[in-house]
Amino acid sequence: MEQHSETGANTRSDRAHVEVYIEAHDLRRALEDDARIGLTSVPKDLPPKYFYDERGCRLFEQITTLTEYYPTRAEREILTVRAHEIAETVAPDTIVELGAGTSEKTRLLLDAATQCGALERFVPFDVSESTLRDSADAIAAGYPTLEVHAVVGDFDHHLDRIPSGGTRLIVFLGGTIGNFAPVERARFLAALSNQMVTGDALLLGIDLVKSTGRLLPAYDDRDGVTAEFNRNVLHVLNRELGADFAPDRFDHVVHWDPHEEWIEMRLRATAYEVVKIPDLDLIVEFTAGEEMRTEISAKFRQTGVERELTTAGLTPRRWWTDTTGEFALTLAMR
């Protein structure tokens, strides 16, 4: 990651304006804190954001193409059919994308809003500076009349750094909201709502409750790509913290919690393991069969989603699903 002399540095990428509020040392400190807390908790638990190094991103892109993994296709179907309706309903002059990544699906909204004649600015927001710079430049090149103003930050500290003004459509796609536990989700939605003004809208991608016969294979594909993606967090800890995990000694486990209505991905030690993590001055023991949770992915029902949005101070306005009813986009207004 490129270093800057001060947090919040404003820089010009090849074509896009980039504001950086989180630096390499911030990410390193967060990893150390999360690993220390998660690996000493009972049960052990790691945040899913550490899947996504360069290798993890490649694996996830592969996952999105798998037959078993429906969310990406279903969300794209909705956007393809409804993008113009969304753009006409909100008439945004600014689109903000949270967790932007490559902003690949968001181009459908950019196209529709541009054709409606109101769009002036795109604000991708993500924690990965390198990914954001590449994608922001690509968007700027593809939409030469559009101001691209990228923000490198995280959801906990930097939502207030998102540029204000005009009418904003804030987009949070991919069902990523499901990675938040309920208390964290409520806090996030409230913080986001507090940064919105009358006329702003939130477009939220939501994976819906469905049969375990459909859900479980989406997180445990026959080719083992998701299993390798899950174990990638151990490779990250080895590389970044000097840990000596043996990833092939941990099985990929997927569990459906019917009470919480969420998928859990876990890593299960196949035998007794002692892991040294020199950078944390920490030794971690795993008993044979012990499981460490690496992700939750909550699934939702319309009534629950609308209740959470209302509690956060937002008014649900529209609800669209794909043809199979497996995934939804909801539009809420401030």
pLDDT > 70 fraction of the chain, expressed in percent and rounded: 96
Task: Please state the separation of Cα 27 from the chain's center in Å.
Answer: 16
Cα separation, 260 vs 185, whole angstroms: 14
Residue with tokens 């296709």: 73
- pLDDT confidence of residue 9: 56
- pLDDT confidence of residue 10: 60
Label the pairing between strands 262-269 and 282-286. Answer: unpaired
- pLDDT confidence of residue 193: 97
The predicted-structure confidence for 24-42, as pLDDT tens digits, reads as follows 899 999 999 999 999 999 9
Cα separation, 257 vs 260, whole angstroms: 6
Model pTM score: 0.92
The predicted-structure confidence for 253-291, as pLDDT tens digits, reads as follows 999 999 999 999 999 999 999 999 999 999 999 999 999
- pLDDT confidence of residue 7: 44
DSSP letter (8 states) at residue 219: T
Contact 48, 207 (CB under 8 A): no
- pLDDT confidence of residue 118: 86
Low-confidence ranges of the chain (pLDDT < 50): 1-7
DSSP letter (8 states) at residue 67: T
Residue ranges of alpha helices (H) inside the chain are 24-40, 54-63, 71-90, 107-116, 129-142, 182-194, 212-218, 225-241, 302-311
Average predicted confidence (pLDDT) for the chain: 93
- pLDDT confidence of residue 4: 33
- pLDDT confidence of residue 3: 30
Contact 291, 43 (CB under 8 A): yes
- pLDDT confidence of residue 197: 96
Helix, strand, or coil here: 273?
Answer: strand
DSSP letter (8 states) at residue 263: E
Cα separation, 165 vs 151, whole angstroms: 16
Cα separation, 238 vs 2, whole angstroms: 22
Cα separation, 2 vs 267, whole angstroms: 33
Domain ranges for the chain: 37-62+218-298
Joined together, the tokens standing for residue 171 give 């987009």
Contact 238, 244 (CB under 8 A): yes
